[in-house]
Amino acid sequence: MGNCQAVDAAALVIQHPSGKIERMYWSVTAGEIMKMNPGHYVSLIIPLPGAENHDGSGNKTVRFTRVKLLRPSDTLVLGRAYRLVTSHEVMKVLRAKRQAKMNKEQSETMVEKENDGDKLESSSRVLAHDRTSRQRSGSFSKSKTWRPSLQSISEAATASR
């Protein structure tokens, strides 16, 4: 009898969307797997530390929270588990992330506009007050400067004769 765990550690596991499990005993690139499974991406399953559960049958199930899509040039490593993800699922997740980002940006913009609106309102009140006070005091504070006119010069010349 051999040690089954040693054989599993020397294999990489690919989980298909249908639930089929495929084991490979050699290194392969993600691009090769994607060519064999058109319309699918290869993702690395990243388990949570200590997230292993034991169900009643004695089997271990590992919950994961993160799936990392691999580039076609990435090499799949022996001893790791990978999952095939359909391009439809990937696009759905990307759309959801984009929508969440847009919603977050819109809410941040709304908060900024509210804050800017409060600032603009108070600054417009200050500007209106300054403008009003300048208009009232402007007529009194502005003094006309004396400018000589030709009549005053000519009158002074005729008066001395």
Identify the residue with better confidence: 49 or 44: 44
Whether the predicted pLDDT of 136 surpasses 60 = no
From the centroid of its chain, how far is CA 18?
A: 33
Residue keyed to tokens 């530390």: 49
- Domain residue spans in the chain? 10-86
Q: Kindly state the tokens that stand for 14.
A: 């690919």
Averaged pLDDT score across all residues of the chain: 75
Q: Name the nearest CA neighbour of 71 among 112, 108, 43.
A: 43
* Residues above pLDDT 90, as percent of the chain: 28
Least trusted range by pLDDT, from 28-32, 33-37, 132-136: 132-136
- Indicate the pTM of the whole model: 0.51
Pick the CATH number of 10-86 from 3.30.460, 3.40.1350, 1.10.3470, 3.10.20: 3.10.20
**130-160 per-residue burial string, b: 16 or more CB within 10 A, e: under 16:** eeeeeeeeeeeeeeeeeeeeeeeeeeeeeee
Residue 134 has pLDDT above 70, yes or no: no
Specify which of 52-56, 68-72, 107-111, 121-125 reaches the highest per-range mean pLDDT: 68-72
* Rounded Cα gap, residues 121 and 131, in angstroms: 15
Confidence of residue 72 (pLDDT cuts 50, 70, 90): very high
What's the pLDDT score for residue 25? Answer: 93
Report the DSSP beta bridge partners of residue 69: 43
Segment 74-106, tens digit of pLDDT: 999 998 899 999 988 888 888 888 899 889 888
